[in-house]
Chains A and B, each alone.
Chain A
Amino acid sequence: MSMAFYLAFKEVWRNKGRFALIAAVVALITVLVLFIAALAEGLASANREYIEKLNGELLVFQANTQLSTSASRIGRSRVAELRRVEGVEAVGQVGFSTAKLIPPDGGDEINIAFIGVEPGMPGEPEVFAGQQLARSRGNNVIVDEGVIARLGVQVGDLIRLKVTRGTREEFYDLTVVGLTDRRQYFFQPAVFAPIVTWDNIRADGGQPGGELVSNIAVIKLRNPDEIERMKRRIEAEVKDVEVADKKTAWEALPGYTAQQSTLSTQQFFTFFIGVLVVGGFFQIQTLQKVAQIGMLKAIGLSNWTVGLTAFAQIIIVNALGVAVGAAGTLALTANFPVTVPIVLTGATALAAVLALLAIGPLGGVVSVVALLRIEPLRALGMAQ
């Protein structure tokens, strides 16, 4: 045991250059894998953030709309039915639309998600500064961190919204009453208005005179553990609706699943290349050391010692590379502005790092097995 670590350490130390090279390759692969992970995470949350953070458990869509927020329509009367279902605590209408923000200093217009919510109901984001939306039709809005970062707005500021109706552009000045954390929806920073105001402003226009129609309704349950049961109950009691939990809803967002699987495929292939490179390196090392290993076995070192020596080296070099790569990636991503969709959360980073630590053992298996097979007879220039 101590013999193996002694030899492993000496060999790595006295061949620093060679081992540093392979550690550097591992470090680069680590950077790549972590970046892809961070990008996947960043894009995913840029897409689903609003839905993920909703203060409710279930989303109600119009039936037969494939959980598409843009195709779905939920009217006021249906919301009233939803409210009557036993076990439903609260229901809020939510409407999605897009608009542009005109920066006060005349920079580029910013595409935003313009979201209508019912004040005080599920769907309205919690503010960390300022106030929630008032129960009114007022021109008050809450903006998310994406908007704050791009415009530098504060509570009390006016923001100018531009919507295009047909060929006409219309401008609306709205007062920021509250700030909320990142609540992007479909890759766009979000502005939240009372749903009546939203209905008046949104690009495709409301239905004047008719009932207030939103895209979906968000339901807060009296007992959040009853998601499955309540989903079935609501679908049974309310006509023409389809109910989904949050995860199902965001996975149905356009392109979400395709994008995530593309990125995880890339991640897997980068990882796989890492395994091959590390495996190839140690395999070449092993082939070059046949005579030396034969000699060591002849003079009395056990197979176990020889195998453990190689394995320890692989672990050391692998861990070193991953540590350097991970530290580098963390340092890099820490300085990215919020507008870049690179998010390295503790969980994704940890999962990726653990996987990367397996590169060495996976790649090195072949070379360790080859080492174990070398016969001590080699020391005499013989083989059986």
Chain B
Amino acid sequence: MIGLEAINVTKIYGAGATAVTAVNAVSLGVRRGEFVALVGPSGSGKTTMLAMLAGLLRPSAGQIFIAGQDIGRMSETQRTRFRGRYIGFAFQSNNLVPYLTALENVELLLRLNGKLDRKGRERARELLVRLGLGERLHNRPNQLSGGQQQRVAIARALIHEPEVVLADEPTASLDTERAHQVVQTFAELIHEQNRAGIMVTHDLRMCRYVDRVIQMVDGHVSREIVERNEILRLAGALDSPDGGSEVALVHAETIGERRPRDDWRRSPAAVV
């Protein structure tokens, strides 16, 4: 049940005449076992939102709870420790430590949490095998393809059993086929391991693997899609008479009522 909850989160960059409201009173929640995509045009505030959810950026207003703790109230040091323990990260690039092998990169998070025992090592190995990297355990990142690197990053994001897993454009540097493989496995693992997953992406086709799509425009949530078919249509994975994904968004009007598993508090901004 517990996962991540953001209440009326706002981020204003700068001050005075040059102030930019990048995120404007956004509320959203992601349960454990749920995988959510954050989409929207460039400049709509996705990265800013993700940075706040990750405890990397302090909100100007609002609260963010992860595993029941208000990360906005934490000191810098506390947030750093909190990230290492409760959050898993997969970034767009520069995910891996170049001088560590695939296995060592994954084990890093166990080491950080003092869980690098025999069982932990075994889990890291199994996870990489599961991600198709059984032959690549002892290769360093520069000996891995882009897709393999992202799969190592996914393993690293999950290995320490975090509450929340955050991915920022994880497929940006991958070709279509690889991108599908990576996100599909990512989604499987999030569901299997019961994590709250959020992925920022500009590639709508990747939405077919998520349970819910949150679309941001100009710093607020413009639409939220939970209905399976609508998500598939958005992702272009369903033949529809109206065709393209953009059109699909237009039909997602009454999502609020149609979310069967949803019992999150939601701000007016999140409901369209």
Q: Using a CB–CB distance below 8 Å, which chain A residues touch chain B?
A: 3, 6-7, 10-11, 14-15, 291-292, 294-303, 376-377, 379-382, 384
Contact = CB atoms under 8 A, between A and B. Distances in A.
Contacts of B48: 382
18 contacts: A3-B112, A10-B99, A291-B93, A295-B94, A296-B97, A298-B56, A299-B89, A299-B108, A299-B109, A300-B83, A302-B81, A379-B56, A379-B89, A379-B94, A380-B54, A381-B92, A382-B56, A384-B57
Contacts of A379: 56, 89, 91, 94
Give the dominant DSSP class at A's interface: helix
Contacts of B100: 10, 14
Contacts of A15: 99
Interface string B92-122: 1111011110001000110110000000000
Contact of B51 (A3, A291, A300, A382): A382
B54 A298 contact: yes
Contacts of B168: 380
B57 A291 contact: no
Contacts of A296: 97
A14 B142 CA distance: 12
Nearest to B58: A384
Interface of B: 47-48, 50-51, 54, 56-57, 77, 80-85, 87, 89, 91-95, 97-100, 104, 108-109, 111-112, 140, 156, 168
A298 B91 CA distance: 10
Identify which of B82, B99, B104 gathers the most chain A CB atoms within 10 Å of its CB. B99
B111 A292 contact: no
Top 10 closest pairs, chain A to chain B, by CB: A300-B84, A291-B94, A14-B99, A300-B83, A11-B99, A377-B56, A299-B89, A376-B56, A379-B91, A302-B80
Nearest to A291: B94
Contact of B89 (A6, A292, A298): A298
A229 B47 CA distance: 81
B77 A302 contact: yes
Given A295-B89, A301-B80, A377-B57, 14 more contacts: A6-B111, A7-B97, A10-B100, A292-B94, A292-B97, A295-B91, A297-B80, A299-B112, A300-B83, A300-B109, A300-B112, A301-B112, A380-B51, A382-B47
A292 B92 CA distance: 12
A82 B259 CA distance: 113
A298 B83 contact: yes
B56 A10 contact: no
